[in-house]
A and B are shown apart, each in its own frame.
Chain A
């Protein structure tokens, strides 16, 4: 993996912020885009732009094929059977809402249970709260241990015959904890297993068959792709049984005055004109990641995490989540005693360093950790140890 060559593909990394070279450590929020993705978007609008499906003319044929190929590329990337299992949505949040409306609201009954964890992003918590309020189901929330890993013993005890959905993040966007999905699947084989892959799919090899999950969900913008496009993977037999999420054009087979039949998968769940160029941008991002190799991506981040943690540790610094890079993704949350987390982010920004501060859309977790916010540094393929050195030059001056 040649980081110097990779960095050349990211025009934004040349930017100066407050007169200093940008150091972008906010990759859990969104990643930067390589020229390959930017050009694919530009090229589509300049050369292929047309609405997809049903068009006879050449442009429409070409655009339709490109959009379908994007589904196929995603299917291969996560080890799905075929493109019928890949639904393009706006983002992770929308995909979870799709499952919530089209599966949970339709199939769960009073007394049923949904099991989730305290380390979820709001996107994988608030939709289930809605089901709890509307359907009278019970939402159970499993705790973490003090080291920031999931309390698997408690998790197991919380499972019973009423557990109908297990909704869990693969990697916590605050703690970096990597959850053992295969182990969780073994604990309960007959519940719907929804995996929030927003922080895992961009950073490691993820295979839906190996995890045996029913749904896997992620956003393109966190993996070099554009905003406004995300993915819902679902097992075909499940998706086929589910009702559509949005109704209207593009998702139908036949329409009469008072009834309609719906299109085959995945189009049944893609109503209206799609984010065509978004799909093509995502496919290009996947090509880019495949060329690097997802194992290389993961190894690079593990090295950065190890290096960063060694430098971060200090008696005035609180580090949240596991410290072993083997069970941690590429994000590190911390607080410096006596400092406000937003102030740290603000002082770092003065030196061109972008980190995130605050609750990271995980307020219940932050409360569990005994704080209202943290600083979070998160890495990707273009980050280097030299950037980490520069980061600590500044941070050490701040923390004194």
Chain B
């Protein structure tokens, strides 16, 4: 869109919630569920309790994180995408 401002670095344009999600996934050895991430980020009191799930999907749209639905566990599991590091730079 014509009004979209030019970003310096993707990382600079991330919200505090997005940064918190990335840092959670960075420190975890395994993929994490929506509920787990939302509860953890909500504890930081950055905004309304529904916001972390919104930011999860925003990060997914940017290609920074990815999701997989586990039919067995009936949950979506989130992890960092292979290219996340490059995307943030």
> Are B38 and A342 closer than 8 Å at their CB atoms?
yes
> Are B50 and A359 closer than 8 Å at their CB atoms?
yes
B21 to chain A, nearest CB (A): 13
> Are B74 and A346 closer than 8 Å at their CB atoms?
no
Chain B, Cβ-Cβ closest to A338 = B74
Chain B, Cβ-Cβ closest to A346 = B76
Give chain A interface residues in 354-398, CB to chain B under 8 Å: 357-359, 363, 372-373
Give chain B interface residues in 3-42, CB to chain A under 8 Å: 33-35, 38
> Are B57 and A346 closer than 8 Å at their CB atoms?
yes
Residue of A346, A349, A358 near B49 (CB, 8 A) is A358
Which residues of the partner chain B approach A339 to less than 8 Å between Cβ atoms? 74-75
> Are B75 and A343 closer than 8 Å at their CB atoms?
yes
Q: Does B81 contact A (CB under 8 A)?
A: no
Instruction: With A346-B57, A347-B69 as known contacts, state yes or no: A340 contacts B76, CB within 8 Å.
Output: yes
How distant is the Cα of A346 from the Cα of B37 in the complex, in angstroms? 15
Chain A, Cβ-Cβ closest to B50 = A358
Q: How many residues in B have their beta carbons less than 8 Å from beta carbons of A? A: 15
Residue of A338, A343, A349, A363 near B34 (CB, 8 A) is A343
Which residues of the partner chain B approach A349 to less than 8 Å between Cβ atoms? 57
> Are B53 and A357 closer than 8 Å at their CB atoms?
yes
How distant is the Cα of A289 from the Cα of B34 in the complex, in angstroms? 39
Residue of A347, A358, A400 near B76 (CB, 8 A) is A347
Which residues of the partner chain A approach B38 to less than 8 Å between Cβ atoms? 342
Residue of B34, B35, B71 near A346 (CB, 8 A) is B34
Chain A, Cβ-Cβ closest to B36 = A340
How distant is the Cα of A324 from the Cα of B79 in the complex, in angstroms? 42
How distant is the Cα of A357 from the Cα of B49 in the complex, in angstroms? 11
Which residues of the partner chain A approach B50 to less than 8 Å between Cβ atoms? 342, 357-359, 373
Give chain B interface residues in 40-86, CB to chain A under 8 Å: 48-50, 53, 57, 67, 69, 71, 74-76
> Are B67 and A340 closer than 8 Å at their CB atoms?
no
Chain B, Cβ-Cβ closest to A366 = B49
How distant is the Cα of A17 from the Cα of B75 in the complex, in angstroms? 22
A324 to chain B, nearest CB (A): 29
> Are A340 and B69 closer than 8 Å at their CB atoms?
no
> Are B74 and A358 closer than 8 Å at their CB atoms?
no
> Are A340 and B75 closer than 8 Å at their CB atoms?
yes
Which residues of the partner chain A approach B34 to less than 8 Å between Cβ atoms? 340, 342-343, 346
A316 to chain B, nearest CB (A): 10
Which residues of the partner chain A approach B75 to less than 8 Å between Cβ atoms? 339-340, 343
Which residues of the partner chain B approach A363 to less than 8 Å between Cβ atoms? 49
Q: List 27 A-B contacts (CB under 8 A).
A: A338-B74, A340-B33, A340-B34, A340-B35, A340-B75, A342-B34, A342-B35, A342-B38, A342-B53, A343-B34, A343-B69, A343-B76, A346-B34, A346-B53, A346-B57, A346-B67, A346-B76, A349-B57, A357-B50, A357-B53, A358-B49, A358-B53, A359-B49, A359-B50, A363-B49, A372-B49, A373-B50
Binding site for B on A (CB under 8 A): 338-340, 342-343, 346-347, 349, 357-359, 363, 372-373, 400
Binding site for A on B (CB under 8 A): 33-35, 38, 48-50, 53, 57, 67, 69, 71, 74-76
